[in-house]
Structure 1
Amino acid sequence: MLSLLSGRVRQALNFLQRPRYWSLGFRLLLLVGLAALATASVMAIDPRQAEEELIVLTNVDRTSNGVPALVPDDALKGVARFRSEDMVTWGYFSHLIPPDGHQVFDILDERGIPYLRAGENLGRNNSPDYITVQTVEQAFMNSPSHRAILLWPGYTNLGTGVAESGEGMKVYTVLFTQAAPGVAASQATATPSPSPTAELTGTPVPPATATQESEVSSPTPTVTASTTVTLTPSPTFTPSSTRVELAPARSMGLIEQIVRRILSLFLNLG
């Protein structure tokens, strides 16, 4: 696509040089438009690529800390993608899903996805596209509660979902499950080959005047406003200010889920 785009840009530049009646202002305006088009084509985030990059970074952090890599699970990817897209569509950022406050565990049950234990990490940021995934992963690792879920050795499967709002805010959902006994793990490879954009080092330094916002869920499973945490900038980039907000880190075992449902049913009958 880049070669095609560059060819079209060259054709446009040649075209601009021929007609003498084009005004200088028109030429400059068209050049600015072409530059914007080229930049958008190169920098626009690809949600599917971002999802795969987040899987790679998650497994890099797990194996670097002595716990097994997780198996990418298509069913979990579908749920995670739904969660991110739903938050963008309806303008919320929480583990509690409107309008009734149900959670992702209910969706897993509705879709027949078996598990012994499940966890969900949520994050969002408006960082530049080339560091947005690294930003949210670093935020998860810097938060004790989210790090605990990310590095729990009992999890076996993983699914990621990414969606972007019209304002450039990227919303990330990461789902973890411990497979139920007798249930085969996903056939997808657990160690995908890292792409160059998934490297944690060598990131270009963005302009010092850029302001980046990164939000991840707060470390308590309550219906409170997300907590804002200021992080020390990573050595690989130097934003003027970085705001990180996390939605509550949340995990739940199967027995806990059953007890919660029984109590809910009892209270409703009362």
Structure 2
Amino acid sequence: MLFLWSIPALAQELDLRLVEREIVRLTNEERSRNGLSELVELPPLSAAARDHAHDMARNGYLGHDSPSLGGPTERVRRRGGTEVVLAENLFRTSAAEERVAQDAVRSWANSSTHRRNLLNPEYNSVGLGVARKDGRSFVTQLFAHQLVAVQRVSKKNHRLIIQCLVVEGPRHGGIFLNGTLLARWEAGGDGRFEVEVPEPGPGGKLKIGQQTSSTRYVLIGEIPVGLMVESAGD
């Protein structure tokens, strides 16, 4: 019985993911028309956006601050994001599901405040979340400026395997523990890289650095190990 009930829920979730992708496409289309670079969709941003969309749908409100999840920055950090520059667009509609993406982007483009977020050249990444309840759709769109996005952290034999995506800037760098270089990384043609480092002890802080010269690294963000780590076996 549980399996039978889960089929419609899964189908709706898949449909909503298509709506999310269409909103990203239309957003980038609007940016391209205005001479701006396209935004890269990042998993931590989308996870945080979905959390908020579902919270709004479940509790029937539209707002940037959730009593249970907090504001945009708190929600992104809870999902392992390291973004420090954030903006958020929200949308609610009773329109049919196939109209949600177009109506949302059109509404934001026609609002001076939301349009500033859509067309802000400072942002290079985006996350989308759509939830639907009782015939109403709730949309959360998060913007950020991210140089290197941490996509997954797993642990095996007391070592961390860190998977990242370079969104902007140098495609090589290092992982640092409390300021000491632990390992170097180099991204592939798609901007992705994987690096393995020893698991830090209590109080140890891992940071990503991009290499700007033969001897210089710029540290750009802390890796949220406590929030993201998954066990891959010991």
How high is the TM-score relative to the length of structure 1? Answer: 0.49
Q: CA RMSD in A?
A: 2.9
Q: Counterparts of 1:66-105 in structure 2 under 5 Å?
A: 66-98=35-67, 102-105=70-73
Residue 185 of structure 1 pairs with residue 167 of structure 2: yes
Whole-Å Cα distance in 1 between the matches of residues 107 and 65 of structure 2? 21
Counterpart selection for 1:169 from 129, 133, 136: 136
Deviations 1:226-266 (Å, cap 9, x if unpaired)? Answer: xxxxxxxxxxxxxxxxxxxxxxxxxxxxxxxxxxxxxxxxx
Residue 137 of structure 1 pairs with residue 105 of structure 2: yes
Whole-Å Cα distance in 2 between the matches of residues 129 and 97 of structure 1? 24
Whole-Å Cα distance in 2 between the matches of residues 114 and 126 of structure 1? 34
Amino acid paired to 2:97? D
Q: Gapped runs of 5+ residues in structure 1? A: 1-42, 190-270
Give 2:124's aligned residue: 156
Query: How much does 1:129 deviate?
Result: 2.6
User: Which of structures 1 and 2 has the bigger CA Rg?
Assistant: 1
SS in 1 for 2:135: coil
Quote the sequence identity (%): 31
Contact 1:114 1:180 in 2 (8 A): no
Give 2:22's aligned residue: 53
Query: How much does 1:57 deviate?
Result: 0.5
Deviations 1:168-222 (Å, cap 9, x if unpaired)? Answer: 11110001100157972299x8xxxxxxxxxxxxxxxxxxxxxxxxxxxxxxxxx
Amino acid paired to 1:79? A
Whole-Å Cα distance in 2 between the matches of residues 110 and 155 of structure 1? 21
Whole-Å Cα distance in 1 between the matches of residues 74 and 97 of structure 2? 32
Contact 2:22 2:101 in 1 (8 A): yes
Whole-Å Cα distance in 1 between the matches of residues 13 and 39 of structure 2? 28
Amino acid paired to 1:169? R
Query: How much does 1:98 deviate?
Result: 1.3
C-alpha change, 1:178 and 1:110, in structure 2 (3 Å) is same
Query: How much does 1:45 deviate?
Result: 8.7
C-alpha change, 1:181 and 1:71, in structure 2 (3 Å) is closer
Contact 1:54 1:137 in 2 (8 A): yes
Amino acid paired to 1:88? A
Deviations 1:98-148 (Å, cap 9, x if unpaired)? Answer: 15x831111223333112311110001111233221011100000000000
Aligned residues: 146
Amino acid paired to 2:126? L
Amino acid paired to 2:143? F
Query: How much does 1:51 deviate?
Result: 0.5
Contact 1:80 1:160 in 2 (8 A): yes
C-alpha change, 1:96 and 1:116, in structure 2 (3 Å) is closer
C-alpha change, 1:154 and 1:130, in structure 2 (3 Å) is same
Give 1:10's aligned residue: none
Contact 1:117 1:178 in 2 (8 A): yes
C-alpha change, 1:67 and 1:111, in structure 2 (3 Å) is same
Structure with greater strand share of residues:
2
Query: How much does 1:61 deviate?
Result: 0.5
Structure with greater helix share of residues:
1
Whole-Å Cα distance in 2 between the matches of residues 87 and 130 of structure 1? 20
Whole-Å Cα distance in 1 between the matches of residues 98 and 55 of structure 2? 24
SS in 1 for 2:17: helix
Deviations 1:24-69 (Å, cap 9, x if unpaired)? Answer: xxxxxxxxxxxxxxxxxxx999111100100100100011111110
Whole-Å Cα distance in 2 between the matches of residues 124 and 89 of structure 1? 13
